[in-house]
Structure 1
């Protein structure tokens, strides 16, 4: 795997002088089993505790109807985290999976099965990957109002790689099953 760094933003390691590109990361969080809010907050905390991963903002929480999920699936709580990092995309993916595992995420062959926690990498700078382990940008995020709406709230002028402004993508999807929960919030420690 190779990283495609932004040549205009770099972070020099003070000991070695090695240059590491800083990338903007968009992470989507979701939970529809167990203590949903607690799982989302735990994911935010775990991301914020990740070395060389700097959370810059966290969206409000949305309660959303399940999409393409089994009939008995309950509603999700969803949020988006924006961060800057020098970590490679593969390491970020490993971290996302470890956080899901810490919240007892059970994987099954059932597509979009209910889950205690989902931590999805949506965009990692301008990195592209089409490997089984890592697909970037996320292949379905541009079709999901539960990703686009909280991301739009944080960055209304953001652009989805290769597809255009997220404002335009959001306008093109059905967002009727996406409701903001003003009574809930996530904190960054």
Structure 2
């Protein structure tokens, strides 16, 4: 069995329903088991600013799928929940990003693991450190908890815990 960490984000209402539905669809797959969920955090948009705030979280899954099949299933969920890729970093019903997969390093045209920018984004690292502070990021040679400590405090402090689902 493989362990993967998946970031989820939504900023189109009903945001929490899209997060819940994505988690349910992942857990309903015969080769995926959702093991742990972070708190849900509300964050301001990054990049394209003319949009609503996001709800973000990270889940830990155990899976028999390989990274490519997991990515394909995540993209299938995104499409099924109405995600449209119109504006880069724009509004979305649901976004699913594979952050880590075991301790693997891979970089192919459509999939890079570990996620190449995760350590730069408080909206990813805070939920990851919440759910798994000891999650090891081999490309940085540090844990999620250590990476959060290196982020600018104003970014970390701007993230508001929204609740749990």
1:177 Cα offset (Å):
2.5
Equivalent in the alignment of 2:134:
157
- Whose helix proportion is higher, 1 or 2? 2
Q: Does 2:19 correspond to 1:40?
A: yes
Residues 41 and 56 in structure 2, CA contact (< 8 A), matched pair in contact too: yes
**Gaps (5+ residues) in structure 2?**
none
Counterpart secondary structure, 1:93: helix
Equivalent in the alignment of 2:93:
116
Instruction: Return the TM-score normalized by structure 2.
Output: 0.92
Equivalent in the alignment of 2:9:
30
**Gaps (5+ residues) in structure 1?**
1-21
- Give the distance between the partners of 2:109 and 2:158, measured in 1 at CA: 29
CA shift digits 1:51-104 (9 cap, x unpaired)? 121111111110011112x23111000111101112111000000000000111
Instruction: Return the TM-score normalized by structure 1.
Output: 0.81
Q: Pick one of 52, 57, 61 that aligns with 1:79.
A: 57
Residues 105 and 139 in structure 2, CA contact (< 8 A), matched pair in contact too: no
Alignment of 1:108-147 (within 5 A): 108=86, 110-147=87-124
Q: Does 2:83 correspond to 1:105?
A: yes
Q: Pick one of 16, 28, 33 that aligns with 1:54.
A: 33
Residues 142 and 160 in structure 1, CA contact (< 8 A), matched pair in contact too: no
Q: Which runs of 4+ in 1 moved over 3 A?
A: none
Greater radius of gyration (CA) = 1
Equivalent in the alignment of 1:181:
162
Change (3 A) 1:78 1:115: same
Equivalent in the alignment of 1:89:
67
1:41 Cα offset (Å):
0.2
1:47 Cα offset (Å):
0.7
Q: What RMSD, in angstroms, separates the aligned Cα atoms of the two structures? A: 1.2
